[in-house]
Structure 1
Amino acid sequence: MRGLGSFFLRSGIPLLLIPPVLLVLQLLVLGSRLPGAERLWVGAEEQDGAVAFSVISIEPERSSIQGEAQSRRTGVEEEEEEEEEDGGMREGAPGYEDENEMHERQAGPRAVEVQLWAAEKPSFTTELDRFIMYITRPQLNCSRVLSPGQTQAALLPAASAHWLLCAEDWLLPAADGPCVAYSFSMGRGDADFLRTVSQLGCEVHSFDPSKSNASGSHLGNSLASNHGNGGGVIQHKMWLEWRAPKRRRHKTRGNLGSVSQTLADIMAALGHHTVNFLYADLLSAEWRVFQNWIEEGTLQNIHHLVATVHLQWAGFEVGGTDEEVLRFWFSVLRELQASGLKLVHSSAGEGHSVLKQTVANAYSSYTLSWVNTRH
């Protein structure tokens, strides 16, 4: 140390500068030995003898639909801690998670990834054009199809077909194997579908919470198989739920105990691993139901899906600006495709109202037919 001081004196450097210089030297020596030290220097460039650094942000963009979860998470955690201190769920507490909490915590096989905007800036017209183009262009051509009410495959669909099923041999259930069909619809809008799948020899279940009891059919919250029922349609006064139960209890086969359950729970109670044909007209609940199917991985067990999408308003528990809603709808349908479903037919409904706006190049609803090419 004395020798180093003599060096500074001989060099003409004031003694007051010795401590700062020594501190810098120590930092340089120790910094090179610290873990990750090399990463601190990545991106450095020498420019005219100086070293310049740039900071790159990798924070992903969050949509307003997804971003709501974080702002409400703190209160939910506090509520859960109170429940744990009380020894469980408080009496009278809701049996379902808040929708945003569910979307954040749910760990299904897939998560709905919100797609990028169709243009550089959000635009209702641009988002609508992309969405309509996506739902009106088939992704798979079927050489043989089944139209409403038909049991014999045809080479071409009827011009006015409301929906159709792809009747390629490799996409239909084996003649000697099981065949299961579900229909979720109110007001007998599924009559042709029920007739078609019944004549195909499927085990058919119809779900409608508004139906009254009918002769020759089973009605009620308890789900039971129709084996030995003579091939008739079993009716259930039940509807689809899209919120995951907050504390899921094991459901016994044949009894769900509620008029509203997720598709996964319904299938488990009926003892079905696969639904060969599913029809759904959910009256604007389809977007959250689709999201539930994606996140729970239920779609991989659905072979043919016929569903009506309603565009007059955002749908149950869907919020945001019109542009954000259109982008969310598009993102959900892209996830259907990523799960293996291919669009084979699109049929326009009536009216020209989309998110309460009158548009000339779109309709208020569309019935879409998909087939799962991965089963």
Structure 2
Amino acid sequence: MGASPRSRAGLAPLLLVPLVVLALQLLAAARLRAEERDAAVAFTVISIEPERRSTGRAGGASAGREGAEEGLEDGARAYEEENQTHERQVGPRVMEMQPWAVNKPSFSAELGRIITYITRPQLNCSRVLPPGKAQAVAPPVASARWLLCAEDWLLPAADRLCVAYSFSAEGGDADFLSAVSRLGCETHSFDPGTSSASVGHPGNSLASNHGNRGVVSQHGLWLEWRAAKRRGHGASRQPGRGFSHGVMAALGHRTVNFLYADRLSAEWRLFQNWIEAGTLQNIHHLVATVHLHWAGFEVGGSDEEVLRYWFSVLRGLEAAGLHLVHSSSGEDQGVLKRAVESAHSSYTLSWVNTRR
């Protein structure tokens, strides 16, 4: 005798119970897996330490040698990896643009601000080394085109290598090269017009000159002002090279004690690159000629915008630790192709790095 309709209706909820229990179990399992995934993400550790690499030869690498510093082919690669690590840790820099001098574009206000800034030393040196002098003297020094601050704490220690670079396209660095050579520095002069080099290096070579103190090595290269592009190891060398990852890395230097630069208006973009790349921490003394007769390579905008950009670059140098110790004006007058009697077309500025 079949079940009555009423009894069949009473059994229906009982038949649904296993289905409901199964659904709840599946839901709980899915939720547990999601919580496990969330926990794994929440406790992920990101390391900012230098990446450790195994550098064993093919077929001979061992897991126990993880992190070994072997396999660096020369000091240049070691230096470059060190700087790449520094860049990863501090992150990219952006040069800060300064506000307008009077809250709006004004040629006279911007020019007055920048001329005042580059003609007023920020640091007094009790002893200085001017061009043509073999020994440091007490200031003032009349008509000196540049000065090196000869305070003991700013000079390289006697038991350490002194390194000097000069970047000049017109050979105006002879007195600087003479001065740093007398100090016993390993000296390198970079001029794209140079076709041969001393100490047997080809004119466009960046072969190291360690140990040849007082000898000037000539290199037929220019200093690239654009941001450096990474090249694979063994890539062909080009006449233009960046600074930290190019010239310094190839020569195996971590510090440049004295640097001279006359880049004929490329200095503004060059300085910006150094500010943003953190290069200035490696330079202790900087002598450079800044040119005001035109905007400079790859610098555009109205005259007021150019002046504001120049001032921002100078303040960026100061923020990096460089302080002006001497200023000397060139012979010509005029700024940005304008006749300006109160300003010269170029100034040679001497800085020292107080954060070295």
TM-score after normalising by structure 2:
0.72
Change (3 A) 1:283 1:242: same
Structure 1 counterpart of 2:301: 320
1:371 to 337, 352, 356: 352
Match of 2:109, SS state, is: helix
Structure 1, gaps ≥5 residues long:
1-106
Contact 1:148 1:192 in 2 (8 A): yes
Shift of 1:227: 2.4
Kindly, what percent of the aligned residue pairs are identical? 71
Deviations 1:319-360 (A, max 9, x none): 000000000000000000000000000000011110000101
Structure 1 counterpart of 2:243: 263
Q: Distance in 1 between matches of 2:295 and 2:164?
A: 29
Q: Distance in 1 between matches of 2:295 and 2:335?
A: 9
Letter in 2 for 1:361: S
Q: Distance in 2 between matches of 1:135 and 1:110?
A: 24
Match of 1:117, SS state, is: coil
Q: Distance in 2 between matches of 1:148 and 1:278?
A: 14
Match of 2:134, SS state, is: coil
Contact 1:267 1:273 in 2 (8 A): yes
Match of 2:324, SS state, is: strand
Change (3 A) 1:261 1:153: same
Structure 1 counterpart of 2:183: 200
Contact 1:217 1:232 in 2 (8 A): no
Q: Distance in 1 between matches of 2:236 and 2:156?
A: 28
Contact 1:240 1:262 in 2 (8 A): yes
Q: Distance in 2 between matches of 1:354 and 1:335?
A: 21
When structure 1 is superposed on structure 2, of 308-317 and 221-230 the one drifting more is: 221-230
Q: Distance in 1 between matches of 2:91 and 2:333?
A: 36
Q: Distance in 1 between matches of 2:248 and 2:109?
A: 39
Q: Distance in 2 between matches of 1:334 and 1:151?
A: 33
Q: Distance in 2 between matches of 1:339 and 1:202?
A: 24
Change (3 A) 1:314 1:230: closer
Match of 2:203, SS state, is: coil
1:362 to 339, 343, 355: 343
Letter in 1 for 2:257: N
2:316 to 324, 335, 357: 335
The residue correspondences of 1:116-195 to structure 2 (distance < 5 A) are 116-195=99-178
Change (3 A) 1:249 1:184: same
Structure 2 counterpart of 1:249: 231
Q: Distance in 2 between matches of 1:154 and 1:231?
A: 21
Deviations 1:78-109 (A, max 9, x none): xxxxxxxxxxxxxxxxxxxxxxxxxxxxx965
1:210 to 163, 186, 193: 193
Structure 2 counterpart of 1:226: 209
Change (3 A) 1:306 1:245: closer
Letter in 1 for 2:293: Q
Change (3 A) 1:131 1:108: farther
| Moved beyond 4 Å, runs of 4+ | 214-217
Structure 1 counterpart of 2:75: none
Structure 2, gaps ≥5 residues long:
1-89
Change (3 A) 1:193 1:222: same
Change (3 A) 1:296 1:344: same
1:110 to 81, 85, 93: 93
Shift of 1:126: 0.5
Shift of 1:243: 1.8
TM-score after normalising by structure 1:
0.68
Q: Distance in 2 between matches of 1:256 and 1:372?
A: 34
Deviations 1:215-274 (A, max 9, x none): 55633322112124463100000011122245x12456xx87011111112101110000
Deviations 1:178-228 (A, max 9, x none): 100000002220000000000101000000001232555633322112124
Match of 2:117, SS state, is: helix
Shift of 1:315: 0.1
Shift of 1:121: 2.0
